[in-house]
């Protein structure tokens, strides 16, 4: 069986230059000294998300071989050192194929850069796993308290009658209007391929208009996937998919300017703020302390951005449109993901 696995691995690496397979590129060494199988697993997942996104030809070519390595990782009889070596060879074969060969002065710089990005993703994934496990343990512990035994009774001294399960508590960080607060979010989005200019402009415009940057980013993700040149079938344009008529109402008379990043963001954030004033009953600056899935006002704001405020008013909440209901789930789920990045 082990001989068969070796044959499979050799076939997988056939496309890689002999020098790369022989390990004769010490400056391109990318095998961290994994202390556990869990660390190696997070490393594999990081490389899959970084180098094998859906639709990339490399996913079909190298995905199955990574899946086999992952299966071997679950076999306690497999030698960790051998797995580490084979994973190193897999990474090198992928990057060699993507770069177009393992030669040229820039190859090792490219390899090392990809390695640093993957390591950052892997470190974040492990930290987030610990955070989620801790949160689950906390919820389980709190579930054992009755209302009379609530550990949050001390909140009454500050004017809150009881513990509000819709509130989450963020750790101390830079002030809410400080762009530095969103540095981790920026770092991860850029590592996922989002333009740093777009991330910076979105955060800056949101803070300028006293909006929540994470909600603005979540709307951009759902509307255009961070593509400033996006145009929908009905004519909505740019990052936040502003219709020309809506743009004119927001002060953008030249509809071509809706493809300009800063102009589109200024109009889109203003529109989002207007909807917030119509449907939410608390300041948007407090959104990061609230669970959006348990707040009807937040859901209505997001639904109104998709279906229009008239539809939300007509149905007294999220309209029964499949597209809008899916849109609300998508935006709020991404918002929660960004908030986890913020807390990491």
Host H or E run for residue 123: helix 107-143
- State in words which class domain 179-343 has: mainly alpha
**What CA–CA distance (Å, rounded) separates 77 from 254?**
66
- Tell whether the model's pLDDT for residue 12 goes beyond 50: no
Cα angle: 56, vertex 13, 49; to 5 degrees: 30
Cβ–Cβ under 8 Å, residues 329 and 298: no
- Tell whether the model's pLDDT for residue 11 goes beyond 50: no
Joined tokens for residue 271:
């529109």
Cβ–Cβ under 8 Å, residues 223 and 239: yes
**Residue 11 φ then ψ, to 5°:** -65, -40
User: Mean pLDDT for the chain?
Assistant: 77
- Tell whether the model's pLDDT for residue 232 goes beyond 60: yes
- Cβ neighbour number for residue 202 with a 10 Å cutoff: 30
Between these two residues, 338 and 120, which has the higher pLDDT value?
Answer: 338
Q: Which pLDDT belongs to residue 117?
A: 72
**What CA–CA distance (Å, rounded) separates 324 from 303?**
6
pLDDT tens sequence across 52-86:
876 678 888 888 898 888 888 888 788 888 888 88
**What CA–CA distance (Å, rounded) separates 40 from 63?**
16
**What CA–CA distance (Å, rounded) separates 50 from 94?**
11
- Tell whether the model's pLDDT for residue 275 goes beyond 60: yes
Listed residue (206, 138, 192) closest to 341, CA to CA: 192
Q: Which residue has the tokens 């051998």?
A: 82
Q: Which pLDDT belongs to residue 292?
A: 81
Name residue 231's beta-bridge partners. Answer: 237
Joined tokens for residue 279:
């449907």
**What CA–CA distance (Å, rounded) separates 241 from 220?**
8
**What CA–CA distance (Å, rounded) separates 136 from 139?**
5
Q: Which pLDDT belongs to residue 129?
A: 56
Of all residues in the chain, what percent carry a pLDDT higher than 70? 71
- Tell whether the model's pLDDT for residue 13 goes beyond 70: no
Q: Which 3 state secondary structure label does DSSP give 242?
A: strand
Read out DSSP for 149-196? G-TTGGGGGGT-SS--TTB--PPS-S-TT-GGGGHHHHHHHHHTT--H
Listed residue (284, 287, 262, 263) closest to 273, CA to CA: 284
Of 19-23, 143-147, 247-251, give the lowest mean pLDDT range: 19-23
Residue 112 CA to its chain's centroid (Å): 23
Host H or E run for residue 35: none
Read out DSSP for 133-144? HHHHHHHHHHHT
CA atoms within 13 A on the CB side of 114: 23
Q: Which pLDDT belongs to residue 134?
A: 52
pLDDT tens sequence across 123-173:
665 655 555 555 555 555 545 544 343 333 333 222 223 323 333 333 344
Q: Which pLDDT belongs to residue 85?
A: 86
- CATH 1.10.530.10 residue ranges for the chain: 179-343
Mean pLDDT confidence for 231-240: 94
């Amino acid at each position: 069986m082990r001989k068969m696995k070796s044959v499979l691995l050799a076939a997988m690496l056939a496309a890689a230059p002999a020098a790369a397979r022989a390990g004769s590129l010490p400056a391109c060494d990318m095998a961290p000294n994994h202390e556990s199988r869990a660390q190696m697993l997070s490393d594999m997942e990081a490389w899959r998300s970084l180098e094998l996104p859906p639709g990339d030809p490399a996913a079909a070519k190298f995905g199955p071989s990574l899946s086999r390595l992952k299966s071997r990782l679950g076999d306690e009889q497999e030698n960790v050192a051998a797995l580490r070596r084979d994973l190193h060879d897999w990474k090198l074969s992928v990057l060699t194929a993507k770069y177009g060969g393992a030669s040229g002065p820039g190859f090792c710089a490219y390899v090392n850069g990809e390695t640093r990005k993957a390591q950052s993703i892997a470190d974040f994934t492990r930290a987030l796993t610990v955070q989620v496990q801790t949160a689950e343990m906390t919820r389980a512990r709190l579930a054992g308290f009755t209302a009379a035994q609530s550990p949050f009774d001390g909140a009454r001294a500050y004017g809150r009658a009881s513990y509000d399960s819709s509130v989450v508590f963020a750790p101390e960080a830079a002030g809410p209007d400080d762009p530095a607060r969103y540095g981790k979010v920026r770092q991860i989005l850029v590592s996922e391929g989002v333009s740093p200019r777009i991330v910076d402009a979105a955060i800056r415009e949101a803070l300028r208009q006293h909006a929540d940057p994470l909600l603005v980013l979540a709307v951009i993700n759902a509307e255009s996937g961070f593509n400033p040149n996006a145009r929908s079938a009905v004519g909505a344009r740019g990052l936040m998919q502003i219709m020309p008529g809506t743009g004119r109402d927001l002060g953008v008379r030249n509809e071509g300017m809706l493809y300009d990043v800063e102009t589109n963001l200024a109009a889109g954030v203003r529109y989002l703020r207007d909807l917030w004033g119509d449907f939410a009953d608390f300041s948007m600056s407090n959104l990061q302390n609230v669970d959006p899935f348990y707040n009807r006002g937040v859901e209505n704001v997001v639904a109104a951005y998709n279906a229009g405020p008239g539809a939300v008013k007509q149905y007294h909440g999220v309209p029964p449109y499949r597209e809008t209901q899916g849109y609300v789930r998508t935006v709020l789920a991404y918002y929660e993901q960004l908030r986890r990045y913020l807390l990491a």
